[in-house]
């Protein structure tokens, strides 16, 4: 036993002295502004996500049956110290309770493909509304909204109805459109309504919390109402649509159930002894017209729509040659900042320029989406002196004026001192080198044995080979002949081979996209997915990618594949629109969004391979 432990002891000590794995760098925390809230009130949930990279994943809020959840904004900060990048993002949500009692906010998790972090559950006590607050609130809301009361003609038959309207019927791509959904009731409810957002076509939504409430008279009858607002931004010119919004409510019921009724169990399961009967109410759909942007956009316009300002700054006025300087360009104002891309930098002869990083702060004040987006570049001065970064131009379209605007930031001057790297020089002198050392020998000995020559040696070697190897030239000739015939057939039928290879190419792109998402490279993943989707449709339709549009792809598929369903065509259009948004607005390519797109693409390819069995000739 002693001889066994002697060699093991040094090994155990060495293992104990090995460095421990680094601590997790991805973290998430959650906190609320209160732990008790009235049933007609709301509370703020703040999620803080931090990581050691330029981007961190956005948390995906799980489905909450006991709360209505609305996004209230986000704030992001990036710090670069000694080449180390640290990112912190704060996400704010407004929660409105639906039921009385102790309710739980479930655990919220995030993942960057390498690490997983989660928050603990949070318990919230939901109490009844105070009588004084309930009486004063509606009167105050009524005084402020009396001019906006709906007419009697807007009322639907019944004591509960839903109405949806927008602040405009036409807009430019990227211009904000506000949707107002009002839920009216003249009967008491046993819980707060559960709102289900409408399906949008050619639009992307942003919440505008909090929920407003009040009272109004309609046709001589008193109604209480709750209003939910949503900001929307159109993607492309053409028609857009807001499908029907809906709410699910619990209505008190005094109905006596007959145990001998054939529908007894169905009626019993549709109502709760504590909450009442569940019913769903819907609004009408709304059609919108999205106008194209005017022609004549200035150079540098990348699709930004809104009202913005631009500013540039360096993190310090002085630096040394060879040291990194953080140069930031901040675009601030109102509009869809998620779609704003980095302005183009002018030529910088005095600096080395490295990739940009972006941070986004969104505010939702006065039902207007705004905030700021900061693009940070790493500049490394090449030499000492007074170096200036010229003004940076930013071009956007202002919808209210109907004109393009071009702004310029102020120039930024940096005083660059002589750095240590610049002082280092290499000099050569005539000092004698050290004595040479023999590292190898170049002597080649000459054989005195006569030889027949290279050709004779080669012939003897070939003759000594096994018999089956002598058949190899004939097999090679036959394979060459078959390959030649195959290439001629392939050249004569290019569409057939493009059609057959589409699936394998798409599956390969799906695997590579999944690898990129796990590595946190969501922008590259969405770009690869977009290119693969366009190539797949191009191969199936038999036309060049540059000639494909949504309408043309639909027409070609209908003409060549009679078995293609309308559902498949609709999913193609939806995926096309979503991929274009995230491909041309990389800041929208969030990890969760990229994963959803990958899943939709995989399912769509499987469906299309079943329906697109063969092209019509």
Q: What is the pLDDT of residues 485-496, one digit of tens each?
A: 766 666 655 555
241: confidence class by pLDDT, cuts 50, 70, 90: very high
Mean pLDDT on 365-382: 92
3-state secondary structure 242-257: ECCCEEEEEECCCCCC
What's residue 253's pLDDT? 64
CA–CA distances in Å: residue 367 to residues 74, 209, 211, 304: 15, 8, 12, 20
Number of other CB atoms surrounding residue 506 within 10 Å: 22
- Give the tens place of pLDDT for each residue, 274-301: 446 778 889 999 999 999 999 999 998 9
Calpha distance 416→323 (Å, rounded): 9
pLDDT at 616 over 80: no
Alpha helices by DSSP H, 363-441: 420-423
Please tell me which residue, 388 or 20, carries the higher pLDDT value: 388
Query: Angle 574-579-582 (CA atoms, 0-180°, nearest 5)?
Result: 130
pTM over 0.75: no
Residues 194 and 211 sit within 8 Å (Cβ to Cβ):
no
Residues 224 and 138 sit within 8 Å (Cβ to Cβ):
yes
Structural domains in the chain, CATH included, are 27-127 (2.60.40.10), 131-148+156-253+275-290 (2.60.40), 306-421 (2.60.40.740), 492-611 (1.20.120)
Q: In what order do the strands lie in the sheet with 238-242?
A: 170-171, 286-290, 238-242, 200-201
Helix or strand run (H / E) with residue 509: helix 494-518
Place of tokens 């703040």: 46
Residues 97 and 109 sit within 8 Å (Cβ to Cβ):
no
pLDDT at 233 over 60: yes
pLDDT at 482 over 80: no
What's residue 402's pLDDT? 93
pLDDT at 376 over 60: yes
8: confidence class by pLDDT, cuts 50, 70, 90: very low
Please tell me which residue, 592 or 576, carries the higher pLDDT value: 576
What's residue 153's pLDDT? 36
Q: What is the DSSP string of 107-131?
A: P-EEE-SS-EEEPPPEEEEEEPPPH
Mean pLDDT on 74-81: 78
Most confident of 180-184, 210-214, 514-518, 580-584: 180-184
pLDDT at 447 over 80: no
Mean pLDDT on 429-447: 46
Q: Which of 579, 582, 563 is nearest to 571 (CA)?
A: 579
What's residue 274's pLDDT? 45
What's residue 494's pLDDT? 59
pLDDT at 125 over 90: yes
Please tell me which residue, 468 or 224, carries the higher pLDDT value: 224
What's residue 529's pLDDT? 85
What's residue 564's pLDDT? 79
pLDDT at 6 over 80: no
Structure tokens at 484: 């030649």
What's residue 519's pLDDT? 85
Residues 6+ apart with CB under 8 A from 108: 28, 30, 47, 59, 60, 61, 62, 118, 119
pLDDT at 328 over 50: yes
Query: Angle 562-563-567 (CA atoms, 0-180°, nearest 5)?
Result: 110
Number of other CB atoms surrounding residue 86 within 10 Å: 16
121: confidence class by pLDDT, cuts 50, 70, 90: very high
537: confidence class by pLDDT, cuts 50, 70, 90: confident
Helix axes 472-492, 494-518, angle to 10 degrees: 100
Mean pLDDT of the chain: 78
pLDDT at 399 over 90: yes
Residues 55 and 76 sit within 8 Å (Cβ to Cβ):
no
What's residue 456's pLDDT? 60
pLDDT at 258 over 80: no
Calpha distance 166→164 (Å, rounded): 7
164: confidence class by pLDDT, cuts 50, 70, 90: very high
Lowest mean pLDDT segment, chosen from 31-35, 143-147, 265-269, 400-404: 143-147
Calpha distance 286→241 (Å, rounded): 6
Backbone angle region of 456, left / alpha / beta, with phi > 0 → left and psi within -120 to 50 → alpha? alpha
Q: What is the DSSP string of 124-164?
A: EEEEPPPHHHHHHHHHHHHHHHGGGPPPGGGPPSSSEEEEE
């Amino acid at each position: 036993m002693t001889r066994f432990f002697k060699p093991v002891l040094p090994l155990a000590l060495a293992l104990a002295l090995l460095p421990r794995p680094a601590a997790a760098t991805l973290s998430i925390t959650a906190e609320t502004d209160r732990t008790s809230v009235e049933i007609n009130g709301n509370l703020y949930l703040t999620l803080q996500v931090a990581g050691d990279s330029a981007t961190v994943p956005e948390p995906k809020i799980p489905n909450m049956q006991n709360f209505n959840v609305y996004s209230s904004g986000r704030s992001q900060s990036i710090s670069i110290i000694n080449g180390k990048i640290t990112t912190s993002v704060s996400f704010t949500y407004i929660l409105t309770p639906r039921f009385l009692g102790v309710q739980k906010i479930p655990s919220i998790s995030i993942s960057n493909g390498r690490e997983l972090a989660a928050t603990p559950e949070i318990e919230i006590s939901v109490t009844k509304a105070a009588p004084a607050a309930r009486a004063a609130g509606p009167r105050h809301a009524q005084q402020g909204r009396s001019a906006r009361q709906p007419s009697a003609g807007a009322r639907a038959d019944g004591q509960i109805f839903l109405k949806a309207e927008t602040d405009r019927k036409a807009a430019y791509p990227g211009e904000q459109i506000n949707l107002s959904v009002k839920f009216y009731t003249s009967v008491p409810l046993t819980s707060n309504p559960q709102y289900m957002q409408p399906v949008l076509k050619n639009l992307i939504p942003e919440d505008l919390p909090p929920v407003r409430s009040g009272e109004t008279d309609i046709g001589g009858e008193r109604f209480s109402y709750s209003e939910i607002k949503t900001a929307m931004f159109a993607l492309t010119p053409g028609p857009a649509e807001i499908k029907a919004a809906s709410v699910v409510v619990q209505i008190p019921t005094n109905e006596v159930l007959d145990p001998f009724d054939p529908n007894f169990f169905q009626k019993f399961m549709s109502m709760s002894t504590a909450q009442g009967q569940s019913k769903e109410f819907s609004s009408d759909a709304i059609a919108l017209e999205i106008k194209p942007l005017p022609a004549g956009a200035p150079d540098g316009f990348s699709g930004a729509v809104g009202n913005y300002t631009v500013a540039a700054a360096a993190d310090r006025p002085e630096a040394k040659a060879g040291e990194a300087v953080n140069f930031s360009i901040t675009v601030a104002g109102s509009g869809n900042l998620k779609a704003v891309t980095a302005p183009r930098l002018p030529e910088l002869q005095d600096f080395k320029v490295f990739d940009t990083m972006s941070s986004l702060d969104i505010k939702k004040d006065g039902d207007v989406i705004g905030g700021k987006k900061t693009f940070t570049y790493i500049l490394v001065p090449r030499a000492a002196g007074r170096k200036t970064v010229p003004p940076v131009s930013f071009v956007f379209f202002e919808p209210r004026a109907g004109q393009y605007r071009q702004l310029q930031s102020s120039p930024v001057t940096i005083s660059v001192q002589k750095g240590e790297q610049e002082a280092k020089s290499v000099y050569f002198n005539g000092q004698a080198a050290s004595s040479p050392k023999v590292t190898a020998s170049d002597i080649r000995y000459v054989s005195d044995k006569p030889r027949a020559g290279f050709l004779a040696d080669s012939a003897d070697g070939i003759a000594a080979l096994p018999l089956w190897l002598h058949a190899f030239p004939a097999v090679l000739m036959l394979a060459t002949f078959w390959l030649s015939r195959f290439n001629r057939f392939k050249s004569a039928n290019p569409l057939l081979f493009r059609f057959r290879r589409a699936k394998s190419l798409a599956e390969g792109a799906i695997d590579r996209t999944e690898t990129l998402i796990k590595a946190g490279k969501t922008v590259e993943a969405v770009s690869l997915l977009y290119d693969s989707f366009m190539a797949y449709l191009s191969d199936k339709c038999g036309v060049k990618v540059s000639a494909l549009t949504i309408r043309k792809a639909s027409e070609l598929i209908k003409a060549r594949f009679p078995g293609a369903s309308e559902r498949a065509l609709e999913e193609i259009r939806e995926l096309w629109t979503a991929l274009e948004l995230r491909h041309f607005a990389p800041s929208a390519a969030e990890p969760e969004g990229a994963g959803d797109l990958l899943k939709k693409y995989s399912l769509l390819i499987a469906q299309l391979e079943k329906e697109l069995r063969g092209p019509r000739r």
